[in-house]
Amino acid sequence: MAHPGPQVGPITVPPSLDNVVVATTGLSEVDGARGRLSYRGRPILEVAEQFPTWTQLVPWLVTGRAVTHSSARAAAPELVWPTLSNPLAQLAVLILAMGDGVPLDTPEAAAAFVQATPVWYATLRSPGVTPTPHDAAACFLEALTGRRPDPGAVAALNAYWVLAAEHNLNASTFAVRVAASTGAQLPQALAAGVAALSGPLHGGAPTGVLAQLQALEAAPDLEVALGDLLERGERVMGFGHRVYRTEDPRAACLRGVLHTLTGDGEAKHAAAVESAALAVLARWKPDRPLAVNVEFYAALVLSALGISAEDCPAVFACARLAGWAAHYWEQRATGRLIRPLARYAPAKPQPS
């Protein structure tokens, strides 16, 4: 193994960096044992009450200071929409193009850039959309659904975006921090986050939840159907989390959002599936606590808003831009390049 410099303590090789602390952050805490999430030391429910829109949340999360108005810049009509079919790829190209040559050398400038990005995305995707920079969620929904959203729908997307804006050191946030540690500019680091989010194990979960829920709609017995699913070696989508050992606090919030948005119909089916899944998982995996996670209710809320499964990862990415930008500046402040080691395990020579 090559050693790039002096080592402090023994070298450990945990799989997937499990239980390895690679950064210090004051942005969010995920208490998996007690099912709690906080932003900048404040419980997520308190944050959601103070910042009813994502546009209002962004400056506080990125800079630590709240502002009374949006500083998002207007859309840029001169940019030609990239000819890409994947929404996440479109978002990454947009971020790189809009940030090219733009001075984003302060957290305040970064916050304004992040606020504006969903508005740019919406107006470039659907040129007929009227920009509403003071509430990016309204503009975004109009572009994705093709109709002017009602206040309840806008409030629901804002609630989801606030809840999804930051979540400690997940895979995409780590990618952003690695890029930031090299001295990369903000747009390039944000694009790295989008790239990491494109994998199905991180950003694609809502798509799987929706497909599974649709398949369960005709099941005469949900517990039997879910048991058959596990028997085939498949996962029950929307349950279990890498950190949480209790119910994901964001799921609890979105359960209420779904009920407000859809009434008893969709919420009743979701509650029935959740109850059946918890019962089946408790029997199949008694030693592993598997509670409902954010993706279960996020998928249902986004579907109720008329957002396609294909668009769900890009919707999530727009929310997480806020946390990524905050981590970018936190990492840049350390001035330290992230440079882990890899254990060298050469392949055995094959007989000739």
- At 2 the pLDDT is 43
* pLDDT of 292 higher than 80: yes
**pLDDT exceeds cutoff 80 at 315:** yes
Please identify every residue annotated as catalytic.
241, 295
- pLDDT in the model for residue 201: 78
Over residues 124-142, the mean pLDDT reads 85
The predicted structure's pLDDT at residue 13: 67
Nearest to 296 by CA among 170, 205, 162: 205
What are the DSSP calls for 140-194, one per residue?
HHHHHHSSPPPHHHHHHHHHHHHHHS--SS-HHHHHHHHHHHTT--HHHHHHHHH
What contacts 24+ positions apart, CB below 8 Å, involve 40-49?
40/64, 44/163, 44/249, 44/250, 44/253, 45/249, 45/253, 47/162, 48/159, 48/162, 48/163, 48/253
Pick the CATH number of 205-304 from 2.60.40.740, 1.10.230.10, 3.30.930.10, 3.10.105.10: 1.10.230.10
Write down the pLDDT at residue 199: 85
Give the residue among 199, 303, 222, 200 at the shortest CA–CA distance from 261. Answer: 303
pLDDT at 7: 53
State the DSSP code for 310.
G
What pLDDT sits at residue 82?
60
**Domains 25-74+83-202+311-332 and 205-304 belong to one CATH topology:** no
Average pLDDT for 142-162: 94
CATH assignment of 25-74+83-202+311-332, among 3.90.1150.10, 1.10.580.10, 1.10.290.10, 1.20.1080.10? 1.10.580.10
Q: Is 85 exposed, middle or buried (0-12, 13-18, 19+ CB in 10 A)?
A: exposed
Whether residue 71 is predicted with pLDDT greater than 60 in this model: the reply is no
Q: Nearest-CA neighbor of 270 among 246, 304, 230, 231?
A: 304
Q: How confident is the model at residue 324 (pLDDT cuts 50, 70, 90)?
A: very high
Per residue in 250-277, pLDDT tens? 999 999 999 999 887 778 888 899 999 9
Instruction: Spell out the domain ranges in the chain.
Output: 25-74+83-202+311-332, 205-304
Which pLDDT score, from 0 to 100, does residue 1 have?
Answer: 41
Q: Which residue has the higher pLDDT, 108 or 205?
A: 108
Higher pLDDT, 242 or 238: 238
DSSP 106: S
Name the 3-class secondary structure at 21.
coil
Would you say residue 61 has pLDDT above 70? yes
pLDDT at 72 (0 to 100): 47
